[in-house]
């Protein structure tokens, strides 16, 4: 299909099978903000915004990648930290030589190998965050700062390593916000809109950089953030991308301020630190950090990081409701991935090594969730004629009873990773499964029921 630069045309693009099948991707926030690696600990997005108000929240923003914006708001912990550790005369741009020196140690193959072991099917790199600093060798110079970019072609080197490991590559780009050309901070709800850059020179710059990323590195995911500048036809970018890569996907953060509520095209939605109670018809992707920050925060600890159990349960829940999980990794300035993050990723990879068939390539079942008689959460996925049942938690006895689940009388049930035959019984609408004595101590058990029952 040949796409035209009109919403009527690009909206005909369908989400490709690979993205439905992939389920799990790695997000990477790494940049100048990784040098100070600071944000106050304690707040959580989005819940605490409603509790304390947007103005107070932005003064104590837990996202370390927002360091520059928070620094520009007077009277907050980030300002105090910056002055104590770097001094009043040390500007944000003074982090550039420190970052460029640190990244000499970075090994992209090591990242790709870790992401592969974690079970990721795709990777999305932040090529330009809101601070405007670029992580590839762009021929298009920043309208105000010139060659405002890393000394290594991070996007190019990582893309090569990711693709060599059989994963898909995608790029995040902050299209609407760029604090290198807009010196005013986002300090309240209104300034989220007014902060979007509308200067014609910047619009040309942003458009050119998107085309450059597409042509130079051939990504399959375009992940714009916050908004996109007005007075430009984003459908031209979409049509160009789809015509080169029909298997590509585009996220939902391209809203243009002057368009208001006008409809715009996207392939999937991107809720942040938020899940749903029911499966969604529209493909979606949950994005969040392993902690409450996307980029590395040196003050994170075991209490602020997800546990392996929490991560496994999160992935299962998201997949059961037609979502993908885009889990962020925040490296240190020199590219080192903190041990707590690495431990979480490898723990997930180990679980997927046994249970991956119930995650990858599956689709939501007719119902996403239920509970056992002792109140453990249960989730479902399906693939062909198999229904997968996930038990989110450790059973206290040698059997579980899943409420409101009636399977076919001739069904067989297997426990993934265990060769013993599973005994089960049906009493009215409740299914009881006997758990083998030699079952390993897993953070979540997965049962495969064949043939798949039909609720309707």
* Residue 300 contacts residue 293 (beta carbons within 8 Å): yes
CA 444/CA 354 separation, integer angstroms: 11
pLDDT at 102: 98
Residues sharing a CB contact under 8 Å with residue 189, sequence separation 6 or more, in sequence order? 54
pLDDT at 420: 86
Mean pLDDT of the chain: 96
- Neighbour tally for 362: CB within 10 Å: 22
Closest CA to 210 of 261, 258, 244, 260: 244
pLDDT at 270: 98
* pLDDT tens by residue, 13-25: 999 999 999 999 9
* pLDDT tens by residue, 130-175: 999 999 999 999 999 999 999 999 999 999 999 999 999 999 999 9
Residue that has been written with the tokens 């796409």 in this structure: 3
Q: Which fold has domain 7-358?
A: TIM Barrel (3.20.20)
For domain 369-450, the CATH class is mainly beta
pLDDT at 2: 97
Q: What is the mean pLDDT, run by run of 10 residues, along the chain of 456 residues? A: 96 98 99 98 95 97 98 97 97 98 98 98 99 98 98 98 98 98 96 94 98 98 96 97 98 87 91 96 98 98 95 98 98 98 98 98 96 96 97 92 95 94 94 90 93 85
pLDDT at 259: 63
pLDDT at 260: 62
| 122 phi and psi angles, rounded to 5 deg | -155, 160
Helices and strands, counts by H and E, the chain: 14, 15
pLDDT at 132: 98
* Residue 326 contacts residue 26 (beta carbons within 8 Å): yes
pLDDT at 206: 98
pLDDT at 403: 93
Q: Is 456 exposed, middle or buried (0-12, 13-18, 19+ CB in 10 A)?
A: exposed
CA 417/CA 127 separation, integer angstroms: 39
* Residue 253 contacts residue 270 (beta carbons within 8 Å): yes
CATH 2.60.40.1180 spans which residues of the chain?
A: 369-450
Q: Where are the alpha helices (DSSP H) in 283-413?
A: 308-320, 339-355
CATH 3.20.20.80 spans which residues of the chain?
A: 7-358
Residues sharing a CB contact under 8 Å with residue 414, sequence separation 6 or more, in sequence order? 422, 447, 448, 450
């Amino acid at each position: 299909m040949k796409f035209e630069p009109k919403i009527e045309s690009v909206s005909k693009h369908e989400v490709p099978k690979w993205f439905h099948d992939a389920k799990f991707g790695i997000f990477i926030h790494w940049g100048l903000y990784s040098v100070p690696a600071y944000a106050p600990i304690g707040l959580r997005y989005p819940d605490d915004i409603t509790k304390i108000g947007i103005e107070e929240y932005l003064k104590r923003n837990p996202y370390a990648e927002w360091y520059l914006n928070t620094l520009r708001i007077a009277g907050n912990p980030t300002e105090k930290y910056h002055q104590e550790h770097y001094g009043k005369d040390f500007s944000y741009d003074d982090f550039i030589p420190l970052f460029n020196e640190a990244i000499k140690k970075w090994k992209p193959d090591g990242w790709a190998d870790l992401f592969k072991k974690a079970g990721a099917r795709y990777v999305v790199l932040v090529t330009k965050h809101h601070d405007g600093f670029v992580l590839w060798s762009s021929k298009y110079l920043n309208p105000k700062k010139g060659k405002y970019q890393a000394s290594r072609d991070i996007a190019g080197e990582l893309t090569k390593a990711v693709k060599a490991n059989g994963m898909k590559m995608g790029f995040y780009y902050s299209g609407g916000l760029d604090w290198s050309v807009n010196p005013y901070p986002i300090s309240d709800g209104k300034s989220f809109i007014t902060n979007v850059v509308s200067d014609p020179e910047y619009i040309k710059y942003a458009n050119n950089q998107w085309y450059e990323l597409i042509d130079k590195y051939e990504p399959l995911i375009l992940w714009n953030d916050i908004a996109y500048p007005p007075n430009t036809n984003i459908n031209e970018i979409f049509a160009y991308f789809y015509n080169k890569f029909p298997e590509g996907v585009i996220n939902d953060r391209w809203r243009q301020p002057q368009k208001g509520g006008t409809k715009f095209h996207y392939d999937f939605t991107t809720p942040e630190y938020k899940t749903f109670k029911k499966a969604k018809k529209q493909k979606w992707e949950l994005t969040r950090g392993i902690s409450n920050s996307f980029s590395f925060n040196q003050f994170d600890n075991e209490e602020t990081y997800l546990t392996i159990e929490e991560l496994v349960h999160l992935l299962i829940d998201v997949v059961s409701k037609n979502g993908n999980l885009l889990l962020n990794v925040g490296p240190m300035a020199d590219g080192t991935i903190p041990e707590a993050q690495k431990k979480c990723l490898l723990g997930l990879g180990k679980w997927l090594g046994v249970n991956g068939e119930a995650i990858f390539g599956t689709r939501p079942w007719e119902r996403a969730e239920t509970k056992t008689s002792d109140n453990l959460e249960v989730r479902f996925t399906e693939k062909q004629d198999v229904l997968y049942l996930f038990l989110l938690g450790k059973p206290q006895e040698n059997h579980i009873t899943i409420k409101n689940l009636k399977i076919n009388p001739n069904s067989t049930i297997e426990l993934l990773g265990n060769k013993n035959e599973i005994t089960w019984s049906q009493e009215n609408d409740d299914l009881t499964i006997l758990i083998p004595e030699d079952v390993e101590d897993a953070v979540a058990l997965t049962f495969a029921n064949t043939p798949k029952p039909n609720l309707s």
